[in-house]
Amino acid sequence: MSVTAVVTLVVLFFIAVYAVSVYNALVRVKHGVTKAWSNIDVLLKQRHDELPKLVETCKQYMAHERNTLEQVISARNAVGTARERGDVNAVGQAESGLRAGLGQLFALAENYPQLKANESFQFLQQRISGLENGIADRRELYNEAVNINNVRIEQFPDVIVARAFNFKPADLLVFSDAEKADVDVKALFN
Per-residue pLDDT of the chain (190 residues), as tens digits, is: 788 988 999 999 999 999 999 999 999 999 999 999 999 989 889 988 888 888 888 877 776 677 888 888 888 899 889 888 888 888 888 888 888 888 888 888 888 888 877 888 888 888 888 998 898 899 999 999 999 999 999 999 899 999 999 999 999 888 765 544 444 444 433 3
Q: What are the tens digits of pLDDT across the range 72-98?
A: 888 889 988 988 888 888 888 888 888
Task: Say which CATH number the domain at 103 has.
Answer: 1.20.1440.20
- Write down the pLDDT at residue 183: 44
- Write down the pLDDT at residue 177: 54
Predicted TM-score of the model (pTM)? 0.74
Look at phi and psi of residue 166 and say left if phi exceeds 0, alpha if psi is from -120 to 50, else beta: left
Q: How far apart are the first and last CA of the chain?
A: 89
Domain count, the chain: 1
| Nearest of 106, 105, 75 to residue 93 by alpha carbon | 75
Identify the domain containing residue 43 by its residue range. Answer: 3-188
Q: Are 55 and 157 in contact (CB under 8 A)?
A: no
Q: How far apart are CA 131 and CA 178, in angstroms?
A: 20
- Write down the pLDDT at residue 181: 46
